[in-house]
Structure 1
């Protein structure tokens, strides 16, 4: 199995807002949905999915285990809680959301528990999020690279995380880009706006297409139907090698997410 190139993110969306976003996205043709235990919206995401009437095997549902649930005696129980909220028997992908703060729970312990969840059929694939090269090496040592489907990381034109990407790809680990639009900052970039104008596309479409053409999965979120529809158009957009190179030149190590107490020592 592989990770879909394009999906819907639900970070910061709760209550009726996330129900409407997921419902609209599914209506428009989205089939991959990304959530997390800490988003506190799994119940609403599950409601929207159930109400859509779309067959479960046509969907790709991802959630992430929160740091409080990393211990071997908590992880699988918490995953079962997530499944109950999402009204499904299994996830397509389950990720470790952040490294364990201060290494309180060893990588070997939570990756081992996650692999056991896979063996039990609770999740089809497993992976990590916000992992550095060193943490990926520890995860590989624990369960084998073949069991790590993706590393979901902040990645956008201003933060291209090339060292992490290069190592992950060398191990056959896919990269999922979150915050691909850098909270909207890249949409104001003159270079991206110029490319978008020439291609009769939006800056968001250009940026998402750049990420997908670079081999990354993307999970943009929106609460507006027009934006959800427009973002989906990125899947049909092709950038030239010259445009790809221009966007690649925008990298300046501009990291937007690095929560104190959670963030590792970034590469």
Structure 2
């Protein structure tokens, strides 16, 4: 297999500034040094650091990690819609070309504000992508709002389906042939899904989108589910979800192209 890329992980320390009123707050640290040690131990060449919900728009630590390891790491940030163009320039210079919408427990209507509309337009001009952490009707509403935007959309954690592949409306939307080419899906974090049919979900995604639209992520350090998961289980799951013939695409080549990693 080609070198493995972990397309979804989080790092944080006790010195990181928290978002106001976070949904949860880990009582431990997940520093970059520990993550890099784990990558080495498991033979993972490169990783994508995704800003966790509890840090909000305080991306300082993530950006510092990218400065220190520009060849090994890429990043996805969380932004305030009023973010300055100068800040976006700085992020882009570090290899950041995407934002994450952490929209669990929030209304999609917030994204209809003039401020968010303006930011999305700026992201279109920069060819940035939007990664979406949402589920159910909220995720569907966000996809509706972004339908006419010239933006690549990355769906976190299989879209957190609530039923099996043929009954879940999120999976149905992602697999719609009329719009499917806009979506990339992260095969990750089964514990964040309400479906017990991720084997079927992955089969349908492979059939409708193809392995060149799927990416594997560990979701380390598995916040709120630390006792349930591990790198060993993450590898076991992806090998169960994806046939051996497609693993190199899902675990390396798709992420390499999408995030612009050098070979």
TM-score by length of 2: 0.53
Which residue of structure 1 lines up, in the alignment, with residue 96 of structure 2?
A: 91
Q: Which residue of 2 aligns with 1:264?
A: none
Corresponding residue of 1:47: 64
Cα distance 1:155–1:127, how it changes in 2: closer, same or farther (>3 A)? closer
Change (3 A) 1:33 1:212: farther
Task: State whether residues 111 and 117 of structure 2, in contact with CA within 8 Å, keep that contact through their aligned partners in structure 1.
Answer: no
1:124 pairs, out of 116, 121, 128, with 128
Q: Give the Cα–Cα distance (whole angstroms) in 2 for the partners of residues 169 and 183 of structure 1.
A: 20
Does residue 150 of structure 1 match 2:154? yes
Within 5 A, what are the aligned runs for 1:236-247? 237=239
Aligned residues: 200
Paired position in structure 2 for 1:261: none
Q: Does 1:35 align with 2:51?
A: yes
**Cα offset, 1:182, TM superposition:** 0.8
Q: Does 1:167 align with 2:167?
A: no
Q: In structure 2, the residue corresponding to 1:31 is in which secondary structure?
A: strand
Checking the alignment, whether the CA contact within 8 Å between 2:202 and 2:241 is kept in structure 1 is: no
CA distance in 2, matches of 1:232, 1:239: 11
Unaligned runs of 5+ in 2: 15-28, 207-213, 223-228, 244-263
Aligned position for 1:134 = 141
| Distance (whole Å) between structure 2 residues aligned to residue 25 and residue 127 of structure 1 | 24
Q: Does 1:221 align with 2:219?
A: yes
* CA deviation string 1:182-222 (max 9, x = no partner): 16999xx9xx9xxxxxxxxxxxxxx79x8598444343333
C-alpha deviation, 1:31, in angstroms = 2.7
Name structure 1 gaps, 5 residues minimum. 193-206, 242-267
Contact 1:96 1:128 in 2 (8 A): yes
The aligned residue for residue 250 of structure 2 is none
Structure-2 residue corresponding to 1:24: 37
Match in the other structure for 2:246: none
- Which residue pairs with 1:181 in the alignment? 190
CA distance in 1, matches of 2:34, 2:239: 23
Q: Is the alpha carbon distance of 1:160 and 1:107 closer, same or farther for their aligned partners in structure 2, counting shifts above 3 Å? A: farther
Deviation at 1:177, TM superposition (A): 4.4
Give distance in 2, aligned partners of 1:49 and 1:221. 18
1:132-174 superposed Cα distances (whole Å, 9 cap, x missing partner): 3233122214x2xx42322335656875573112213321232
Q: Does the 8 Å CA contact 2:108/2:142 hold for their aligned counterparts?
A: no
Cα offset for 1:17?
2.1
Aligned CA RMSD, in angstroms, stands at 4.7
Match of 1:196 in 2: none
Q: 1:19 to 1:5 in 2, by over 3 A?
A: closer
